[in-house]
Structure 1
């Protein structure tokens, strides 16, 4: 039985006028090296950030241990706690680099598949991977803008209270 609510096959918005053209593939092929370059740089930066987090955590523990054994001032625990907090912040920063890099790598892989098959399904997959990357970037930008506004708001409020407290 036919669906009475289905769009008419003569609807021009539903018709595919052409398949994948060589110009489409060439346009995406030309971007693939840059996509791979950016993804690899993202992975490298992620690795360095994770290493920094590891060294910060380990170094903070070592420093706190040596401070604790050489002095009785009690400064070791706050130093260790601060080092652990910064280490966690670095891990979170590394994740912020990792996820977009993964999305870019997948996009480059979809372009490689399109180059070999030249099929419309692979073109759709490549464009969907690109959409997924830009969606993630947009979400991250919105979160960062909200964080910046929150931090600026806190700084302004602290400044107002600080100014009100001074004689």
Structure 2
């Protein structure tokens, strides 16, 4: 791939300050995100160790017409999947932060490129998750409409 020179863009002191501040906030958000992942795993562990005879889980199972064990397993899987999925954006954000700081200190263009590669990966990952979420939401709305029509005709 050929390098493109965009009017000799460079990182001056002002842009360096913006990038440095962005890197600090990115690191903060990544660390808080990892802590959030830990809470998801902790909640998954709590639900996994919760006895099947727990009245809350039995009530939840009765509400949805399932057993308490099935409700517990569903909640456990949702917490685990959410925790696992959220690790990736936090990791991309932390890598962006660390590499941006390293690039600014060393004046290394290649490391700055690697930092922005992680930022691109973060946005790409979040975009794919957003597309999946929007598609799932559209399917839920469509399913609700179809179920509503069947109940009205029954």
TM-score range, shorter chain: 0.7 to 0.9
1:92 to 81, 88, 91: 81
Equivalent residue number for residue 37 of structure 1: 28
Inter-partner Cα distance in structure 2 for 1:13 and 1:83: 54
Matched, 1:110 2:103: no
**1:36-55 counterparts in 2 under 5 A?**
36-55=27-46
Encode CA deviations 1:34-76: one digit per residue, 9 max, x unaligned.
Answer: 10111111111111111111111110xx23499xxxxxxxxxx
Inter-partner Cα distance in structure 1 for 2:77 and 2:109: 44
Q: Which ranges of structure 1 fall in alignment gaps of 5 or more residues?
A: 1-5, 67-76
Matched, 1:150 2:139: yes
The alignment covers a number of residue pairs equal to: 144
Equivalent residue number for residue 74 of structure 1: none
Identify if the C-alpha distance between structure 1 residues 95 and 16 changes in structure 2 by more than 3 Å, giving closer, same or farther.
Answer: same
**1:108-147 counterparts in 2 under 5 A?**
108-147=97-136
For the pair shown, which has the larger CA radius of gyration, 1 or 2? 1
**1:58-77 counterparts in 2 under 5 A?**
58-59=49-50, 62-64=51-53
Q: Report the TM-score, using the length of structure 2 for normalisation.
A: 0.82
Confirm or deny: 8 A CA contact 1:103 1:133 kept in the other structure.
yes
Q: Report the TM-score, using the length of structure 1 for normalisation.
A: 0.76
Q: Write out the 4+ residue segments of structure 1 that deviate beyond 2 Å after TM superposition.
A: 12-25, 63-66
Inter-partner Cα distance in structure 2 for 1:157 and 1:54: 37
Equivalent residue number for residue 73 of structure 1: none
Inter-partner Cα distance in structure 1 for 2:146 and 2:21: 50
Confirm or deny: 8 A CA contact 1:20 1:118 kept in the other structure.
no
